Structure 1
């Protein structure tokens, strides 16, 4: 039995072709090809035509002496074979979904091999993808919660929903207790949704969601981190704009500083979103799904032009911001923007207060608090930042930015043309 009509050889040919199209180096492609030739020889000797993970695990055991339960790099047993293992994971994903995966997260391990929990996992994931209008990032977040929970239950030797008691629920929640209060709230919501789904579909006798504690963190509990105008200038001035990566990072952080765009919207910007004649940026916000029009400020325009002409790799990808190394496609979501921000913050010599969760969202908070210091009405700030609720904007009332009283209201002049 196999899940697709592509043979192992056909999948490998498609992978190598995709790598070539994405601009991978000749040496990298040859390394994959050599690894796959060894695997193909093994498959030919054993009359394997279609890929299954069990075949790859058998290959690793017989060829390299690796006894693994799944195709995951564990940093101990697979240290010297990490690239061969990665090649097989790429092949596994392509065989299953016909999608070339360029990067695997070290945090995302599959559900342990347990027929009962794997069945529930598949049912719930199909429900999220087919019956719920969720963004991919939301599905990934819910998936991580449920997968982590299932693996924990397997460790506890629990193999049925009906075995879950209030004591077990408390143990599950304790797995996430080290995270922020906001994150814990989300995890509990995910668990409630999963157990409700199971009960509604007659997968368990009792409604387990009813024994999960209700936790609500007030919106006012979060005090956003922000920077001064001088610190924002220091951040931007520290970037070497002679390199292609520097041109890209400068444009990204300038957009965050001057327009307050969220990371998820910055990484999704398309070349066609920029109307150079009207000097406007048109986009649909990912979080709110609202269409917004932003001014294409002069300094942002020139920074973007410099990147497109002198720093952006040649690619068929229509996204504005592209990876600096092959494969030359779009940045990998908000996390890529966050990594750029973290690197540039440290490179600029700026100190993050101890205990503060300070990401690129802090630049958005900076813009909001500067506008507030100039007594800009909250509804106007809310419109500029694209907030759906005035509650989100009212958080800035709790920030003290007295040193920025001279900043004008117009976003085009928020930093007095000094950023």
Structure 2
């Protein structure tokens, strides 16, 4: 193998999983972030650039200890140890044979899953589309089996996300059937005294028909970006306040660029703006941590200027941002500095933060009419695409970011 760096072997492994094993992009993303990223971070911690079998063995021992102490779940353990197994095999043989069922192999379900399929078949046998329901559920269970899961109680949110994302690529116009099949599976599981699907309530949420699944900004990545900001600098205080405001309010980038000092009602902890896109007024709550960050920037770091906008350029002339593109550039620059990767369509954008907020509110049972008001939509039809069925995104989304500031650099 020409490239013996751990980075090179990880990249070769991903290429093999994509081209030879045939894994979908969403599954590759999970393998990259949940299986390979911890390995890369461990090698960085050990200050080792090149592949080392001894370090992989040491990392496996750490995983086992974390599993025993309860620091990680069995599912996380399986995902992480699969990463070390893949790298060993690729390094030693130049290839990897996927042990779970994929589209190119004969589909075989664990006995416990076959029992569920049989029970569900009895429950839906009188329905007109029972065959489609069973096909979709079997496909979902096959995905679980590919991750060494043979018990419903082991299902976690990322498994549902991967399935929905995979299916939406090939049958976007029949996602209602897919969601309906998962609802029926969940009803059967709970009715049989088994564990239901994670965030099954979200399957009942209104959504845009015949559309693909829109990803959210993951909280882990946004949290990493925010924590990496150096608050001892003026530009750091500004960017910190911008990202906290976006995460807590769901404001569009253009509205953040144009928000004025007079738009903040400090006594009532409210924000009053007229949206640039719709020209409609909207009132938003100002969270305590966000208000503190704004005040810190305004009182201690904002340049003296006659411009009414809160956020100003860091270089003279000290004027407000031209438009939302400048705010989006703040996020991209901060992600790059924090080492957070970004590819087209991954949801790591200012608009992805809006979807994050809308999805989280849906998960917490907020009515869609209220979500529409907070996001500044004039009707609920415009809001539905923001209510993502990206379940992994749901798990990572968060409304409040007060705790993030506590760990930031000062």
- TM bucket (normalised to shorter chain) is 0.3 to 0.5
Higher percent of residues as helix: 2
TM-score (norm 2): 0.45
Highest CA radius of gyration, 1 or 2? Answer: 1
With a CA cutoff of 8 Å and minimum separation of 6, indicate the structure with the bigger relative contact order. 2
